Amino acid sequence: QGQASEWALLRRHVSEDVFGVQIAGNSAETMARVAQLIEAETEVDFVDINMGCPIDLVCNRGMGAGLAQRANKVQGIVRVMSQQLSCPLTVKLRTGYDMDKPTAHRLVPQLPGWGAAAVTLHGRSRQQRYTKLADWDYISQCASACPAPLIGNGDAFSYEDVDNALKSETGISSVMLARGALVKPWLFTEVKERRHWDISASERLDMLRGFVRFGLEHWGTDTLGVARTRNFLLEWLSFLHRYVPVGLLERLPCRINERPPTYFGRNDLETLMASSMASDWVKISEMLLGPVPADFHFTPKHKANAAASAAITAEG
């Protein structure tokens, strides 16, 4: 049946001209039923099977990256879902499960024959998670053996990164932007216009205002709606603070895995937005949503994104 929070993820906003959903599962029967529900109850442009999630809770249940290790199950799921859907079915996976033991090159060529319209390959193993650099040479190797479009994923953070991935000799059809778009959501504009945007702190704050507006429209302006919007805003700020303004860089392009030293921005707002302290993210949220409750605390989901991983409690 699905929970209300899950159905909310299937709700398409009027501004979304392309809208897809990603599904995680480990059973052909269950995934077929999910495909039927999506087909009957929603309006989507594509459905993606999640075979890349590295989280233990997911993998230990045979989903995400754990599913990619079971080719027979993958075949059954891809076949039944593609039969139920009128929109394209895609698959996203990683290079493999263990470090330095890639296996995707054995699975990728088979997926289109089972019903996948396209394949996205993240150039890291499950064990790597997000450490080390993505292996774009291996992505290219898999692309040359895939009869369907293959989309590369991993570390794309500038238009130069995208250009390098799409050189004719790579065989890669397109590039998926992921963490890079969380750190700087204007990355799409940079890629389209082939430039580095020295976006100001006030322009970035305007983006946050838009995000908050959408959140309050979606969840409501009551106490619960404000709290939910604030939580999502803070999670996003745990990525956004990693952006280093173009005007402060000594060289371009900046790489997504580079960690610059602490720096002062060109104004107080730019300095605040560069802070890795969760308490400062709370301050930014208060600029947009008002004071937090006396008992408020926030702990980032991804500890790697914050210097302060302990819960931050507002002073009463």
- Residues belonging to the active site: 53
Question: For residue 203, what are its two tokens?
Answer: 């322009």
C-alpha dist (Å) from residue 109 to 32, 75, 143, 229, 274: 22, 12, 9, 42, 43
Residue whose structure tokens are 């077929």:
32
Q: If we measure between CA atoms, which residue out of 195, 155, 148, 194 comes closest to residue 175?
A: 155
Eight-state DSSP code of residue 114: H
C-alpha dist (Å) from residue 25 to 41, 121, 246: 19, 18, 41
Classify 285 as helix, strand or coil.
Answer: helix
Q: If we measure between CA atoms, which residue out of 303, 78, 255 comes closest to residue 158?
A: 255
Q: If we measure between CA atoms, which residue out of 79, 74, 87, 84 comes closest to residue 35?
A: 84
Residue ranges in 42-153 assigned as alpha helix (H): 56-59, 71-84, 104-107, 111-114, 136-144
* CA atoms of 247 and 198, how far apart (whole Å): 6
* CA atoms of 263 and 234, how far apart (whole Å): 21
Burial environment of residue 77 by CB neighbours within 10 A (0 to 12, 13 to 18, 19 or more): buried
> What backbone torsions phi and psi does residue 276 show, to the nearest 5 degrees?
-95, 10
Taken as a whole, the chain contains a residue count of: 316
Question: For residue 157, what are its two tokens?
Answer: 């953070």
